[in-house]
A and B are shown apart, each in its own frame.
Chain A
């Protein structure tokens, strides 16, 4: 049947079918690691770090737009493109780092699951194995289309942080002032926090996820303006959630001088200050975010490695058909669960090292991306515009400088102290 419909109705239908990759990627951004970083930042510096969300937003948008465009133009995943443009060695280097970083990242997600369910009185020795099995089953037996719908619903749940923040009764004038005229500090912890916030917002593996999600949906250049809106919404979602987490912690913990190390500390500390319900809502958000990312991370990582090296992959294949794929994601889940369940595991050290590895990996991936997105034989007429390149390269330069500072900072502070 040839359909006739009003143009605006058509637009809405197209948009609804395009919607997803950007918003989901934006939500995965605020995983357990992200929530921890934002909570700690809010508790330590109140509203003083809110301004960092503006550059984080710009960088995130620029990077994800490039990913979406590359996927739409070529129909190739980022891993594919890197392999074809840079050969086996660089690809292997990136993916060895990626797999280690992602085991760390997944461990952080399970720590988030353990921490949040602990608030509701569940021991981590029960919550983590149960959730790990659950995650494995969803990954191995689920299918992408139905899981995408679940993921979109998950994304909405993340807005529960707005509830937590409002219940904390923040001083909006003070917040406005902090965003417009940020107070800059020069101590190392402050700089580390800035890097942490920007770094946790743009994690390397998400670039791979974004590009594949666009291809998986079969989106093409004709959908470009809707894709752009989707990416924009995703980025807004990321910073909005981050904003309210910082506000919630700034209005309560910072005002009362409470310092925290983990996101779950924030949920506990919120209880007496903003009421039991606010604490529970915070913990619930943490749980959703953690399990959401714990599903996507191992799956995505296994997928990209197989894609790059030409192993059979995909959850529609049997274990025998795609042994490398199943081995990879099972190993990632298993390793991260073991890390969490070791009594007195140095979780904070693991988190920091994971972030450092993410930080080293990010510029490598971004530089590869910039080179490819400017390559006419890959992108045809859709290479970056001049403005895109200026924003892209400056984003990368700033990220590299920040990462460099983050890595040498511990050394320098040691020198100063001695």
Chain B
């Protein structure tokens, strides 16, 4: 940014420019300022053009055809005659944003505060012959300015401060830097102008916060946002959103993307979501899933929600009883995070039959050459898949469990495990 002298950079507000008269070089009136077209690709988007509206049309005038200094005065003056400026001079297929249409008065995502906020005004900065967007105003003061009473309230605030020196919160600026602003456009506009590059800060958002944000957005914005984030993030977010929102959003995706997202989820969660869906839709999605994930999910779908089978996941680590501790630890280290629910407990199986469990702690404190059968807990607590979820919760509480293996009634074969987070979720669901 140019900073030749301190008076050179002048901040101003979008609301102060909107509706201003636009004049030809010979000072004849040709319309009013209707919108700013900005280039959204940069941290602080540059204004590319000003949209001028009159009775007949809306036309984008490139900024270099405008006396930029006149923007801060009462009228905006063009360098060339309005009629000579072609109307299709801006390539709208690039990542451009119309401020009034998409940001002003709209809800945006504040990536820093991780919440949805409404934009009351937009602050711009004129430096030399360029104008860029710096922040959005989301505070009371922006509303006062829009109502045309900012100065009057300011004088009152001065008087009050003079009498009793304290902070007048209603007159404080509340800005969110554009760096953290993520405008969520309605789908139609989003498709038209392809603002697809989500910001770097997006990745730092906690999926649970992102889920809250999504629930707060309107229907079109939700769709846009879920289309903007990669499958693995979408999987985490949709595991957190309430079941209605999850269903709605998955239905808006084509079966292939829905399948891709569900593959990234824990199978028990994916099965819960598919179980709430209409049968033909669920089957359509399962068909698109990779064979291994599809099988896991289908198996879980057999069990009702409120049984041990409904809570369990088939993703756990199991070892042969003869495995040495050192090898077991190596396996654990290599295990891909997304395929394994927990490493705190490993399950010792003989021909798929559960014969013991070993905790991470035991693995870490035992000499590496010992075999797992020597240190395993030979009488692990387990449950059969048709037992009730309530029974599961009771066992977790009674034995202070982190995991609980689920075994088939007759064969004693391990079918899956239940982790404590699934139990907590079941319990909170049934409080409400």
Contact = CB atoms under 8 A, between A and B. Distances in A.
Contact of A75 (B219, B274, B279, B282): B219
A343 interface: no
A92 B138 CA distance: 16
Contact residues of A: prevailing secondary structure: helix
B319 to A, nearest CB: 32
Interface stretch (A1-9, A366-374, A408-416): A1-9
Interface string B205-218: 00000000000011
Given A1-B304, A310-B117, A87 B432 contact: no
Given A75-B218, A75-B220, A84-B105, A1 B147 contact: no
A83 B186 CA distance: 16
B106 A84 contact: yes
Contacts of A75: 217-220, 222
A76 B147 contact: no
A272 interface: no
Nearest to B298: A2
A221 to B, nearest CB: 10
B301 A310 contact: no
B118 interface: yes
B244 A218 contact: yes
Nearest to A145: B432
A74 B220 contact: yes
Interface in A61-94: 73-76, 80, 83-84, 87-89, 92
A353 interface: no
A84 B118 CA distance: 10
B267 interface: no
Contact of B143 (A3, A76, A84, A309): A309
Contacts of A73: 219
A2 B118 contact: no
B147 A88 contact: yes
Contacts of A3: 275, 279
Nearest to A72: B219
Contacts of B248: 218, 220
Interface in B270-309: 274-275, 277, 279, 282, 301-305
Q: Which of A1, A2, A218 has the most chain B CB within a 10 Å cutoff?
A: A1
B245 interface: yes
Contact of B245 (A74, A218, A309): A218
A83 B118 contact: yes
Contact of A83 (B105, B188, B279, B301): B105
Contacts of B45: none
B230 to A, nearest CB: 24
A76 B305 CA distance: 32
Given A75-B219, A89-B147, A310-B117, A2 B279 contact: yes
Interface in B91-108: 105-107
Tell which of A2, A4, A218, A309 has the most Cβ of chain B within 10 Å.
A2
Given A74-B220, A75-B220, A87-B105, A2 B147 contact: no
Contacts of B119: 310
A74 B105 contact: no
Contacts of A310: 107, 117-120, 138
Contacts of A89: 146-147
Interface residues of B, number: 33
Contacts of B303: 1
Nearest to A85: B105
B310 interface: yes
Contacts, number: 60
B20 to A, nearest CB: 16
A220 B249 CA distance: 12
Nearest to A215: B218
Contacts of A2: 274-275, 277, 279, 282, 301
A87 B179 CA distance: 25
Contacts of A76: 218
A309 B118 contact: yes
B276 to A, nearest CB: 9
A309 B432 CA distance: 30
Nearest to A222: B251
Nearest to A73: B219
A73 B432 CA distance: 28
Nearest to B188: A377
B390 to A, nearest CB: 17
Nearest to A74: B218
A151 to B, nearest CB: 18
Given A218-B244, A309-B118, A87 B279 contact: no
B290 to A, nearest CB: 20
A78 to B, nearest CB: 12
Nearest to A76: B218
A320 to B, nearest CB: 13
Contacts of B186: 377
A4 B282 CA distance: 13
B175 to A, nearest CB: 14
B275 to A, nearest CB: 5
A87 B146 contact: yes
Contacts of B275: 1-3
B301 A88 contact: no
Interface string B234-271: 00000000001100100000000000000000000000
Interface string A104-140: 0000000000000000000000000000000000000
A84 B107 CA distance: 9
A92 B219 CA distance: 25
Contacts of B305: 1
Nearest to B274: A2
A88 B220 contact: no
A101 to B, nearest CB: 20
Nearest to B271: A1
Nearest to B310: A1
Given A220-B248, A310-B138, 15 more contacts: A1-B275, A2-B275, A2-B277, A2-B279, A73-B219, A75-B217, A75-B218, A80-B218, A84-B106, A88-B143, A89-B146, A92-B143, A218-B245, A218-B248, A377-B188
24 contacts: A1-B275, A1-B302, A1-B304, A2-B274, A2-B275, A2-B277, A3-B275, A3-B279, A74-B218, A75-B217, A75-B220, A83-B105, A84-B105, A88-B146, A89-B147, A92-B143, A92-B147, A218-B245, A220-B219, A220-B248, A309-B118, A310-B117, A310-B120, A310-B138
Closest A-B pairs by Cβ, 8 of them: A310-B118, A75-B219, A88-B146, A75-B218, A218-B244, A76-B218, A2-B279, A1-B304
